Structure 1
Amino acid sequence: MSGIDVAVTGLGLVTPGGVGVGPSWAAVCAGRPAAALDPALKDNVVRISCRVPGFDADELLGARRAHRLDPFVRFALVAAREAIADAGLDPRTWDGARVGVVLGCADGGPGTVEAQHHVLRERGAAKVSPLLLPMQLPNMLAGQTAMEFGATGPNLVVATACASGTTAIGTARDLLALDRCDIVLAGGSEAMVTPLVMAGFAQMGALSGRSDDPAAASRPFDADRDGFVAGEGAGVLVLERTADARARGAGVRARIAGYGASADAHHMTRPHPEGAGIEQALRAALADADATPADVRHINAHGTSTPLNDLVEAAAIDRVLPDGPLVTSTKGVTGHLLGAAGAVEAVFSVLAVEQGLVPPTANLDRLDPRMDIEVADAPTRTPVELALSNSCGFGGQNATLAIARA
């Protein structure tokens, strides 16, 4: 599908940096870590997370509406509302049949499941909420978004673990190329920071154990990294064919110029030891964008702060992009937003291209000496004509976006 020209006309964010694009971007550019001790995890081995601050669902969505939604849907609706307004669109007047929704998440609503499982055990099956399934099913992320905004076109949720948000944007781009839609709300949302899910991650050894210093726990590419910090939130982009966007006078913030995806076909949780799948996705995105490695000036890496992922990803980046683009992992600030990570990081990549500003990698005190990449440790002003946003997930699923200046 090389040569497809898809515009990003609207952006929306709900992240541990704040509610909205402005607060989230400011936190990332300031390198201000969001990780803190989490009261909900007080009985867990690992007690830190990155929560969305000041998110009042009753105020933002109305108490009756919010009560019927799991947080992973609440986050998405608020982010989508911001993105739609940013794009200058009015759902009351658009042709809903030509508006699609493609969103990613890794797990749906585990918080709802855990709460209702407690009800089942303590009070019996007759007391389990009839809203259990409508609230927790992953497809309700897109379904509720369609209901909220009258989008009656193609509607789906994709699940490629922590690559889900990136996969969703790539899939949305394909729908526009195939003329299935004129507008797509694309991105991802996640609310997996629950005691059971976090216990599972901790038992795998995936989480940072720095409960005594939460702010320093997420440290991508640092020599002393010891695991990721889990976060929550959502990122939504409004995508349109560039010609259509310009015809209606919309502002084009950046273009999704290319997309690549791959599978490691190697292991349930560990990346391919040589980063073969990551390399394949990176090269596919470049080819789809009709770009060369020398064109790439910035990459928002997956950069989870886990010992193995960061090392393998850095090696793949060095092989594919030997000219040394400036690398950032914004997870030093936001933590790992799991299925929403790729969508949120795509928004940050759009902003980096649009503003010519590469955000820093928070907590990078000493680059792992085994890595031959240039990692931003401070906000850097530099022209960025083309950036890559890279994501990887359990099961060996990889996805990369090439994001170009408008």
Structure 2
Amino acid sequence: MAPLAIRAYTATTALGRGREAQRRALRERRGGLRRNDLPVLAPDQAPLDCWIGRVAGLEELALPAELARWECRNNRLAWLALQQDGLRAAIDAAVARHGAARVAVVIGTSTASIAATEEGYARLEDGAMPADLRRPLIHTPHSPGVFVQAATGLRGPCVTIATACSSSAKVFAQAARLIEADLCDAALVGGIDTLCGSVLFGFNSLQLVSPEPCRPFDAARTGLSLGEAGGYALLERATADDALLLRGYGESSDAHHMSTPHPQGLGAQLAMRDALARAGLPPEQVDYLNLHGTATPANDSVEALAVAALFPDSLHASSTKGWTGHTLGAAGIVESVFALLALEHGELPGILNSTTPDPACGPQIRFEAAQRTIGNAMNNSFGFGGNNCSLVFGRA
């Protein structure tokens, strides 16, 4: 594929707002997980005993008056993330170059604004949604996409992708296809997911939630920690002056099981091979791989198996979910931001909280950070149902 320029990128997570907050926390090995304090809507129900990566300040934030009909916690996070790292200025510059109708919006999410729907059902008035939540726009999966389009004034194609944990990685692939088809000249891609009862208790019902901070690829790992996040990247056709590039993407759907990966990681391998083929790169030219690495026993071992089947021992591969928690539909954009930070600054994260390597995982899995100049980085995002996406980024 023709490379696409990354003209701006940002993430807001439990580690803080914007790229520098993420970079500083990764470098200092300072995580954002805390004991679960998410309010419980059901009467007499105790909070789930687990650790979460919650974004601070969302409760005090208010959307501008002209966006009030989209009011909900998820869209407040979407708004907050939009204000970071000069993203608004970059969007304005793209509109000046191409016109608002030629800039697409492609947003990934897993649960969209379902927390607002949960609240509505908890406060039913004579069997109907309470008056303040009778706003159908926020009770649909497309809520994040239409909100971001309204908040930015962009008028190109608008898509919301909801493929579980691969959602905001697949936004890059969708944007690349839209630009290649000449349906737009630029695309604002991103992902937003906030925590809610359906997420916490749903994953817990699958016996996947750890009662302690998650430990990706540790021999004694017991499950994941959930988090929330929002982030964006602005993509355009590359020129000779662009420093950071999307070089390739790969997607697969192995459909092995609703919530368990293929035991040999065949779908994961296919996505990674497809991304490398589009990038025109052999595996040995990838310097850093941000793993999906959820810290569940099955997912980590299968991903490590797939990585070992494809990459040399020299690869530096790590999961950053010990810092942020698993941010679900926002994981793809957040961990793409981490891969781009590694490209820009040469700081390759290790793995937080993990101390004992799993002997079943290959030498590519690195617990300790490293620092060196790299040319290419990759991100894996694998979702329920075997819905997989891998991305390759590079420095020009």
Alpha-carbon shift at residue 296 of structure 1 (Å): 0.7
- Inter-CA distance 47–332: structure 2 relative to 1 (3 Å threshold): closer
- Following superposition, the deviation at residue 278 of structure 1 comes to 0.2
Task: Determine the structure 2 residue equivalent to 1:204.
Answer: 206
Secondary structure of 1:373's counterpart equals coil
Asked whether the equivalents of residues 164 and 342 of structure 1 are also in contact (C-alpha less than 8 Å), the reply is yes
Residue 102 of structure 2: aligned partner: 98
Determine if the alignment matches structure 1 residue 22 to structure 2 residue 24: no
- 1:164-189 alpha-carbon deviations (Å, 9 max, x no partner): 01001111122122222111100211
CA contact (8 A) 2:50 2:210 kept: no
1:110, distance to aligned residue in structure 2 (A): 1.6
What is the CA distance between 1:235 and its match in structure 2?
1.4
Q: Superposed, which structure 2 residues align to 1:2-401 within 5 Å?
A: 2=1, 4-40=2-38, 43-55=46-58, 58=61, 61-62=63-64, 65=67, 68-82=70-84, 84-85=87-88, 87=90, 89-90=92-93, 93=96, 95-120=99-124, 124-125=127-128, 127-191=130-194, 193-210=195-212, 217-243=213-239, 246=241, 252-401=242-391
Match of 2:43 in 1: none
Of 299-308 and 67-76, more deviation after overlay is shown by 67-76
Structure 1 regions of 5+ residues with no counterpart?
211-216, 247-251
Task: Give the count of matched residue pairs.
Answer: 389
Contact 1:13-1:21 at 8 Å conserved across structures = yes
SS in structure 2 opposite 1:374?
Answer: coil
CA drift at 1:307: 0.6
Offset at residue 57 of structure 1 (A):
5.4
Larger deviation, residues 267-276 vs 9-18: 9-18
* In 2, Cα distance between equivalents of 1:152 and 1:329: 36
SS of 1:314's partner is helix
C-alpha distance in structure 2 between counterparts of 1:356 and 1:176, whole Å: 29
* Contact 2:190/2:231 (8 A) holds in 1: yes
Contact 1:161–1:393 (CA under 8 A) maintained in structure 2: yes
Taking a change above 3 Å as real, the CA distance of residues 344 and 126 of structure 1, as seen in their structure-2 partners, is: closer
State the Cα deviation string for residues 81-114 of structure 1 (Å, max 9, x = none). 4352463744774610111000100121121011
Whether the aligned pair in 1 keeps the contact of 2:375 and 2:395 (CA below 8 Å) is yes
CA shift in 2, pair 1:394/1:77, >3 Å: same
Report the Cα distance in structure 2 between the residues aligned to 1:253 and 1:190, rounded to whole angstroms: 29
Code of the residue aligned with 2:71 in structure 1: it is L
1:203 positional shift: 1.2
The change in CA–CA distance for 1:92 and 1:404 in structure 2 (over 3 A counts) is: closer
Give me the whole-angstrom Cα distance separating, in 1, the residues matched to 2:147 and 2:68. Answer: 11
Deviations 1:375-406 (A, max 9, x none): 33333111211111001001110000001113
Q: CA deviation at 1:28?
A: 2.2
**C-alpha separation between the residues in 1 aligned to 2:219 and 2:283?**
27
User: Do the aligned partners of 1:44 and 1:199 also contact (CA within 8 Å) in 2?
Assistant: no
Given the two structures, how large is their TM-score scaled by the length of structure 2?
0.92
Structure 1 residues 336 and 402: alpha-carbon distance in aligned structure 2, compared to 1, 3 A threshold: same
Letter of the structure 1 residue corresponding to residue 376 of structure 2: L
Query: Which residue identity does 2:275 align to in structure 1?
Result: A
> How far does residue 65 in structure 1 lie from its aligned partner after superposition?
3.9
Percent sequence identity over matched residues?
34
Q: 3-state DSSP class of the match of 1:44?
A: coil
1:64-84 CA-partner distances (Å, limit 9, x unpaired): 746742222222233234352
CA contact (8 A) 2:269 2:307 kept: yes
Note the C-alpha offset of 1:27: 1.4
- Which digits, 9 at most, give the CA deviation of each residue in 1:289-341, with x for residues without a partner? 00001101110000001110000000100111124310111101000000000
- Local SS of the residue matching 1:74: helix
The 3 A distance-change label for structure 1 pair 152 and 259 is same
Q: Distance in 2 between matches of 1:58 and 1:64?
A: 15
In the alignment, the residues of structure 1 paired with residue 24 and residue 283 of structure 2 have an alpha-carbon distance, to the nearest angstrom, of 29
CA RMSD in angstroms comes to 2.1
- How many angstroms apart in 2 are the aligned matches of 1:380 and 1:106? 32
Cα distance in structure 2, aligned partners of 1:365 and 1:66: 46
SS in 2 for 1:351: helix
Rate the CA distance shift 1:183–1:81 in 2: closer, same or farther, 3 A: farther
How far is the alpha carbon of 1:145 from its aligned partner? 1.1
1:224 counterpart letter in structure 2: A
The answer (yes or no) to whether the contact 1:356–1:383 under 8 Å persists in 2 is: yes
Distance 1:152 1:64, change over 3 A: closer
Query: Secondary structure, in 3 states, of the residue corresponding to 1:309?
Result: helix
- How many angstroms does 1:19 deviate by? 1.4
The change in CA–CA distance for 1:136 and 1:32 in structure 2 (over 3 A counts) is farther
